[in-house]
Amino acid sequence: MPEESPAPESPLVQSLRTAVAAAPEDVPLRLHLAELLLSAGLHDAAVTEAAAALQHAPGDGAARELMVRAMGLPASSAPAAAPAARNTSTVADPASSSVESAASLGPAAAAEPATSAEPADTSEPAAAAPEESSRRSGFDWRAAEQEVDGIVEPRFVEPPLSADGSGDPGNADAWEVSAPGVVRLADVGGMQEVKDRLEAAFLAPMRNPELRRLYGKSLRGGLLLYGPPGCGKTFIARAVAGELGANFLSVSVSDVLDMWMGNSERNMHQVFETARRQAPCVVFLDELDALGAKRSRTQHSGMRNTVNQLLTELDGIDSAANEGVFVLAATNVPWDVDIALRRPGRLDRTLLVLPPDATAREAILRYHLRERPIEAVDLGRLVKATDGLSGADLAHVCESAAENALLDSVRTGQIRMIGTKDLLGAAKSVVPSTEPWFAAARNVAMFANEGGMYDDLVTYLKKRRKL
């Protein structure tokens, strides 16, 4: 085969390469590129393109003819030998054999020059013909067999079940359930009103089974936590699970919703089936406004069906189906939650989780400063300066103060501790992230407080003179 010219490719060839990359299955376009490469003396590149064309169209006669010309083999008018003919004593045409090998092995193998053809020795036994033909086409079958022996099994493929069915996963849970954690309500700083409501709703009946049976108090029920973002609703839910010694199953909208019809409802059912098997279990529905939005505002039928399925699961199949299953939900916009979810027997109790009070702010600040280099921090002054900030805002204050001290240390070359001045400066620069939420909640409290649903919110807004 003639050597390739070292000259760079022409602009036309480069443009055709770009077009072929955009449409790799366009066989005529790829053959046109191969013809130009062959005309320019780039035989190996032409072989590569012809082999790629044969992968997409194995029976294309023009591609086979171009492959033969590019490899420098003599043209043959005889048709390619059928696969069964390879077991006869007659050796297939070298050109056809080379083309078939190149098409089956891909562009990389096809680019290798073929060995020169030799006349077949009809005195050899018929069994030797396939190996001899393969050797002549430049393919090492022994090396290939060694590579095949070392093939790694594909990943993410479930192993087949054994004959006795022992490999069947059975009732294995599809949802990850956390074991009872070490977080308790004592780890929640301040928020005494929230703790008292939780004690009455869940904890007291659980700790006193005799009194629960005497008063006919069921362990069924749900509690909706609502309030501005970043105020610890998820942390409180985990603390409740820790107090109950119950498993914890957190569910978000991305875990349930599915693009295929019926899958979202099935996912919702599996969540509660898992919780019933793992009882006592706390099911925490995060961002309930996304999972249980008002059906009157939902145009998509699949979303309405998901809400209907959630209502069915909260009711349970019978009166004892959800015994030991505690449902906690959290949302920033309770006014967007479907009203049916909040009727008695479902999420009938609501709890407003407000920005941390002074005691809670001190505990949060101590937590975020515990592993940072600080000196003589006036926590009392800092607690007063951070009134109205959420827990997430307080974490940002500590992060900003640490960043300021770090930059000073870099500029001066000496380690400087985090002081009260850094923290107060950071607190002054942080805008409370809860303000937009209270601006929207104010309108709801004034004009949409049917049945006293948001009386707690009204009381807080009046106390803060925001209403």
Give a yes or no: residue 456 inside a domain. Answer: no
Q: Note the pLDDT of residue 10.
A: 81
Q: H-helix or E-strand containing 379?
A: helix 379-385
339 and 364 assigned to the same domain: no
* 196: its two tokens: 């008292």
Query: CATH number, domain at 423?
Result: 1.10.8.60
Residue 180 burial by CB count (10 A; 0-12/13-18/19+): exposed, middle or buried? Answer: middle
For residue 365, give its domain range: 358-429
| Weakly modelled stretches of the chain, pLDDT under 50 | 1-6, 77-137, 148, 152, 154-158, 161-172, 317-318
The answer to whether residue 313 sits within a structural domain is: yes
Q: Say how many C-beta atoms besides its own lie within 10 A of residue 117's C-beta.
A: 16
* CATH code for the domain in which residue 48 is found: 1.25.40
- CB distance 390 to 230 below 8 Å: yes
Residues 372 and 336 in one domain: no
Q: Residue 5 domain-assigned?
A: no
Q: Identify whether residues 304 and 223 lie together within a single domain.
A: yes
Residues 55, 96 within the same domain: yes
Helix 358-369 to helix 391-412 angle (10° resolution) is 40
Last residue of a domain, one of 352, 385, 402: 352
Torsion from C-alpha of 247, 252, 257, 258, nearest 10 degrees: -80
pLDDT of residue 31: 85
CATH number for the domain including 267?
3.40.50.300
Domain co-membership, 276 together with 200: yes
Q: Cβ distance 405 to 422 under 8 Å?
A: yes
Q: Which long-range contacts (CB under 8 A, 24 or more apart) does 82-88 make?
A: 86/129, 86/130, 86/133, 87/126, 87/127, 87/129, 87/130, 88/126, 88/129
Number of domains in the chain: 3
Domain boundary residue, one of 284, 319, 352: 352
Q: Are residues 363 and 282 in the same domain?
A: no
- For residue 234, being part of any structural domain is answered with yes
What integer pLDDT is reported at residue 172 of this predicted model? 46
pLDDT at residue 396, as a whole number: 95
Give the span between the Cα atoms of 286 and 233, in whole angstroms.
Answer: 9
C-alpha 26/C-alpha 10 separation (Å) is 21
pLDDT at residue 340, as a whole number: 85
Q: Which of 48, 79, 83 is nearest to 63 (CA)?
A: 48
Q: Output the six-digit token pair for 243.
A: 């107090």
In a domain, residue 18? The reply is yes
Report which secondary-structure segment, H or E, holds 281.
strand 281-285
Q: Is residue 446 part of a domain?
A: no
In a domain, 422, yes or no: yes
Note whether 375 and 246 are same-domain residues.
no
* Residue 158 located in a structural domain: no
54 within 8 A of 80, measured Cβ to Cβ: no
Q: What is the pLDDT of residue 452?
A: 83
Cβ contacts of 132-141, under 8 Å, gap ≥ 24: 132/91, 133/86, 133/91, 133/92, 133/97, 134/101, 136/94, 136/97, 137/94, 137/97, 137/98, 137/101, 138/101, 138/112, 138/113, 138/114, 139/101, 139/105, 139/109
Give the DSSP letter of residue 367.
Answer: H
Please state the φ and ψ torsions of residue 183, each to the nearest 5 degrees.
-75, 130
pLDDT at 391: 92
Statement to judge: residues 397 and 291 lie in one domain? no
What pLDDT is recorded for position 69? 82
Residues 289 and 363 in one domain: no
Check whether residue 345 and residue 362 sit in a common domain.
no
Domain boundary at 352, 377, 400, which?
352
Same domain? 132 vs 223: no
333 contacts 327 by C-beta, under 8 angstroms: no
Q: What is the pLDDT of residue 316?
A: 67
State the residue for tokens 């005799």.
210
Give the CA distances from residue 246 to residues 123, 249, 366, in Å, rounded to whole numbers and listed in that order: 82, 10, 28
Nearest Cα to Cα of residue 372 among 426, 316, 425, 417:
417
**352: β partners:** 226
Q: Do 280 and 369 lie in a common domain?
A: no
